[in-house]
Structure 1
Amino acid sequence: MSTNNIPGSFKYRIKAGDTMYNLAQKYNVSLNNMLAMNPSIDSDNLKIGQTINMPLNNPVATANIKGGPLRPQITGTVNFFDVPDGTWVCADISGLPPYRPAVGSANPIGPHGFHVHEFGNCQTGDPGDPFQTAGGHWNPTNQPHGNHAGDFPVLFSNQGRASMCFFTSAFKPEQVIGKAVIIHQNPDDYRTQPAGNAGKRLACGVIQRFNG
């Protein structure tokens, strides 16, 4: 996974035969935008392995995140963009609880576990243990936790807000439509099976096709 430097773009590594023009055609993006995002690049002499900034189109899928009874203040969006070889995921979340370090046997609150779960169902159910209807982590290839297709980086709260983008090669956006995004109370340790000991589910959003 990797992060981008220019808002509205993702990193693309040049392959044999790539030119700015054919990349713009292939991924239906503006050639002028590509050139503007890469002012130091010699567009007539791209090198294999070189990294350029590629502009993003509209997301293919999106999830509107809403907090449950344990943290109703949470709101935000998670967008899924179709990019070469995978998906660019962008999250913008507010209302996260203040960080609390681990005390005794209690886990810390934050940074927050963040995953795609099996079922697009955000019914609250038990208010003390909400969103169980979303099922477990989405794991279509039956991998151990830490390598689930639905395993994402944790969300770091900045006075309640977390905003980040990252690349995953584990799926394309179409594959997660109809599933759910869950934000957990505790950090994911990426080790404990089957769910990383990320604790209770604070917020949920069903992933739907983006309609503009």
Structure 2
Amino acid sequence: MKKYIVIYSLAFVMLLAACADKEYDVEETQNNSSNAGVKTSAPVSEETEKLEVTMYNQDKEKIGTTTIRPVYTGVKITLEATDLPPGMHGFHIHENGICEAPDFKSSGGHFNPTGGKHGFEHPEGPHAGDLQNIKVDQDGNVFADAAAEMVTLEKGKNNSLLKEGGTALMIHSGADDYKSQPSGDAGERLACGVISE
């Protein structure tokens, strides 16, 4: 009789252990399936996860890189560059994805799909491509984050930076005054980078 009680007890313990393993497997599967969306190359929103943009100066030399990432309110632009004149500089998104040195006029005007006026201080502004000024240190280096709340990386949208032909990032020689038309009196174009897929 004792022999059967021992056998039944062992069987019961093994059954509990099997159930525990099964619950763990289900939980692990659920965790893996929820993480699967994070690791996919195409997000659910079909937006590009991030873009790397190479910045070139008027002599066609690489001076830095910019990373553009989608955020809840538009995109976040992180600029890291060197060999620039110290001081404040205008920083904008331009309408054409073309950076022909030395003047970069091929990039056109500011990206402006809404038809607004230039500048954060203009009552009918800003352009979608207007960004905050950047500050270059005494050694010619800059590391800055900029928020662009009126644009997206989602293709097919009117305000997409990945429109046909692309767009461009531009660093100007002077500071943007946030009100003068059409570009904030920011001076000549010092550096340019093409935004494209």
TM-score (norm: length of structure 1):
0.60
Q: Does 1:133 align with 2:106?
A: yes
Following the alignment from structure 2 to structure 1, what is the Cα–Cα distance between the partners of residues 84 and 143?
11
- 1:28 is matched with 38
Amino acid at match of 2:57: G
1:169: how far off? 1.9
Tell me, yes or no, if the aligned pair for 1:131 and 1:204 is still in contact at 8 Å: yes
| Higher radius of gyration, 1 or 2 | 2
1:60: how far off? 2.2
Tell me, yes or no, if the aligned pair for 1:114 and 1:181 is still in contact at 8 Å: yes
Amino acid at match of 1:62: E
Tell me, yes or no, if the aligned pair for 1:66 and 1:203 is still in contact at 8 Å: yes
Q: Does 1:84 align with 2:84?
A: no
Q: Does 1:154 align with 2:133?
A: yes
Following the alignment from structure 2 to structure 1, what is the Cα–Cα distance between the partners of residues 190 and 135?
14
1:59: how far off? 4.7
Cα deviations by residue, 1:133-166 (Å, 9 ceiling, x for unpaired): 1000001101110111111111101121111123
1:167: how far off? 2.8
Following the alignment from structure 2 to structure 1, what is the Cα–Cα distance between the partners of residues 190 and 62?
8
- 2:161 is matched with 176
- 1:10 is matched with none
- 1:122 is matched with 99
Cα deviations by residue, 1:50-74 (Å, 9 ceiling, x for unpaired): xxxxxxxx952221001004xx666
Distance 1:160 1:27, change over 3 A: farther
1:79: how far off? 1.2
Which runs of 5 or more residues in structure 1 are unaligned? 1-20, 30-57, 99-109
Structure 2 counterparts to residues 5-154 of structure 1, below 5 A: 28=38, 59-69=49-59, 75-98=63-86, 110-124=87-101, 127=102, 130-146=103-119, 147-154=126-133
Greater per-residue helix proportion? 2
Distance 1:112 1:74, change over 3 A: farther
Distance 1:68 1:85, change over 3 A: same
Residue aligned with 2:77, SS: strand
1:83: how far off? 1.7
Which runs of 5 or more residues in structure 2 are unaligned? 1-30, 40-47, 120-125, 155-159
Distance 1:27 1:82, change over 3 A: farther
Following the alignment from structure 1 to structure 2, what is the Cα–Cα distance between the partners of residues 74 and 201?
15
TM-score (norm: length of structure 2):
0.65
